[in-house]
Structure 1
Amino acid sequence: MAGLTYTMLDTANLSTAELYGKVLCDMGEIHPEIVGLSADLAKSTKIGLFGSKFPHRFFNAGIAEQNMFGMAAGMAKAGLVPFVSTFAIFTSMRGLDQVHTDICYQNLNVKMIATHAGLSFGQAGSTHHCTEDLSIMRAMANCKVIVPADGIETANAVQAAYETPGPVYIRINRGFDQKLYENTEYGYKIGKAVELAEGTDLTIIACGSCVYQAVEAAKILNSTDGIKARVINMHTIKPIDSEAILKAIRETRRIITVEDHNVIGGLGSAVAEVVAGSGMTCAFKMLGIPDTFSIIGLHEDLMAHYKIDTNGILENVRELMGKDFEEDENWDDEV
């Protein structure tokens, strides 16, 4: 399993889901209005930690995701703050009618923690891969969409979600997450990207599990190719940080997006919309899952297959560096 630098004993501490469960427990002590809901996946999604600590504030709807989201909507109407957790594939698809009409349409204060997202549950098969949820959820009016890069950022995202009124969709992995941040004090804010590496030759914009891969690729590009790659952690897909994207266009003129998601409708599409709307040109490429149902395998192997790991990013950056763009700085003729 290429790229793994830790053992099975470390995965609980590294898992975004594990940290989410612990943070929710801490928040539950301070905020009695927080309740938890699960669709018979409390152990897998780690919201069971909250259920063990606050059994009278935790509700298992069973294998009935639609009912669970309907229950959450009713609780929110009554003044509670429901944190609803199930697999991303079930949140964004099986329960979508209730997410759309009961929660987002009414702009209710429900927080949806979607685990096992992207290809992170790779060995479970294509039916459990979730590579369409970003396109689905960012199309839901009133809903904010967040993709934390590691466990520390998940802790920040959960806290920020509580402090932000309205529906919030937080997309996290199954586990085996590389550690990116040392602590929570780096200025996290919903809708504000984080620059992890400076660069003037090219900008890599990534989210989720691909952020660590992008940082590693930038280090190699600097040391072996002399390429200065800027790395932006676009942890919020909606609202997207347009300012960071426009700054990258002006200062690097080359952008590559990397996501553990279908190339249609996700991070790459959101960035492309900003680029197109700006009237400015740049060399641009989107990395992700092509328009196909993904193959089956371990997460790191699937990332390598679809070239969204460090080596895949290196290959595509080197190719993109060979593409031309208009050299002049007069943007008026490009509108």
Structure 2
Amino acid sequence: MPENKLIATRDSYGHALVELADAGCNDLVVLDADLSVSTKTCMFRDAYPERFFDCGIAEANMMGVAAGLSTCGYVPFVSSFAMFAAGRAYEQIRNTIGYPHLNVKIAATHGGLSVGEDGASHQCCEDFALMRSIPGMTVICPADDVEARAAVKAAYRHNGPVYLRLGRLAAPVIHDEMKYSFEIGKGEQLTDGFDIAVIANGLMVGETLKAAAVLKKQGIGVRVINMPTIKPLDDDLVLRAAHDCKRVMTVEEHSVIGGLGEAVCSLLSEQLPTPVRRIGVNDQFGHSAPAWEVLADFGLTADHITAAITDFIQK
């Protein structure tokens, strides 16, 4: 993993939009809610200003505009912070996009605790739960630049509503662009191991890989699985990991309620009962501090993941 290369997936999003338009996707339009510099849709705005719409600080209205554009044959990508996209505009997403199953892509940046100093009001750790509950909604949280750009392009090709969570913090690039391919509904095994399977997504994939490298030196084999698509979940990959490793841990920058961990637990409880430990935000709000301090406070760093894996195995 080339850890010296760090790129925020929100930057990847901006680049991917331009790459799609450059490739001749003439039906692509982009909407933003007065945050284009932060969401990186400014890249698309500068390159294709006639296909960019700043809807102002009116996220709910923006969802309605996107819904209308989709009925006219366009493929709209709507962008804002996760708290405002998934949170403030939830009802419009549910009733105006989800219910009629319209072809709208919701790209939510600044998800999770790593918004840092912006504090609990902006640290959206409920978005997976909200979006998973909407029938027909695809939910994606890519781990790095390569995967994020591929996921944006896959979302464009997918017919139906998609929720993409993108990060503010720079994340290590773990994929080789020449070898990697993204498919909605598919995860990937990044390391081999039979002592425990750890399933992660987003920023937590890099931290889990660091933990696995430390534990490998101690003779503990950790099977790291990157699960970028939370809905639909890659059932076969999860079941195979549970069968082989007999223990499963999930790690996510999200509440343990309603997110990746709950999706994995729901599957295993019905099809292959397996001991599971969920690492995430435990039914509480975040707080304001530098991003990595907040993540450490909530046990979402490599050191904490290493300790949690060791404890789980010992017990």
Q: Same fold judged by TM-score > 0.5?
A: yes
1:138 equivalenced with 2:150 (yes/no): no
Give the equivalent residue in structure 1 for 2:288: 296
Give the equivalent residue in structure 1 for 2:270: 277
Give the equivalent residue in structure 2 for 1:63: 57
Three-state SS of the structure 1 residue aligned to 2:224 is strand
Match among 125, 136, 141 for residue 147 of structure 1 = 141
Give the equivalent residue in structure 2 for 1:33: 27
Give the equivalent residue in structure 2 for 1:237: 230
Three-state SS of the structure 2 residue aligned to 1:314 is helix
1:159 equivalenced with 2:153 (yes/no): yes
Which structure 2 residues correspond to residues 257-276 of structure 1 after superposition, within 5 A?
Answer: 257-276=250-269
Which structure 2 residues correspond to residues 166-205 of structure 1 after superposition, within 5 A?
Answer: 166-183=160-177, 185-205=179-199
Shift in Å, 1:182: 3.0
Tell me the alpha carbon deviations over residues 121-179 of structure 1, each in whole angstroms, 9 at most, x when there is no partner: 11111101010000000101111000000111100100100111000000011132222
Give the equivalent residue in structure 2 for 1:330: none
RCO greater where, 1 or 2, for CA within 8 Å and sep 6 or more? 2
Shift in Å, 1:184: 5.4
Deviant stretches of 4+, over 4 Å:
none
Shift in Å, 1:290: 0.8
Give the equivalent residue in structure 2 for 1:226: 219
Which structure 2 residues correspond to residues 66-85 of structure 1 after superposition, within 5 A?
Answer: 66-85=60-79
Tell me the alpha carbon deviations over residues 254-292 of structure 1, each in whole angstroms, 9 at most, x when there is no partner: 0010000011110100000011011x3322100001111
Three-state SS of the structure 2 residue aligned to 1:294 is coil
Three-state SS of the structure 1 residue aligned to 2:293 is helix
Give the AA of the match of 2:306. L
Give unpaired runs (5+ residues) of structure 1. Answer: 324-335
Shift in Å, 1:300: 1.4
Under a length normalisation based on structure 1, what TM-score does the superposition of the two structures give?
Answer: 0.91
Give unpaired runs (5+ residues) of structure 2. Answer: none
Give the AA of the match of 1:271. V
Match among 129, 143, 150 for residue 123 of structure 2 = 129
Match among 42, 49, 60 for residue 48 of structure 1 = 42
Give the equivalent residue in structure 1 for 2:244: 251
- Number of equivalenced pairs: 312
Tell me the alpha carbon deviations over residues 209-250 of structure 1, each in whole angstroms, 9 at most, x when there is no partner: 000011111111111x20100000010000001111110111
More deviation, 171-180/136-145 = 171-180
Match among 95, 109, 115 for residue 101 of structure 1 = 95
* Aligned sequence identity (%): 39
Give the AA of the match of 2:184. I
Under a length normalisation based on structure 2, what TM-score does the superposition of the two structures give?
Answer: 0.96
Give the equivalent residue in structure 2 for 1:18: 11
Considering only aligned residues, what root-mean-square deviation do their CA atoms show, in Å? 1.2
* Cα distance in 2 between the residues matched to 1:226 and 1:51: 51
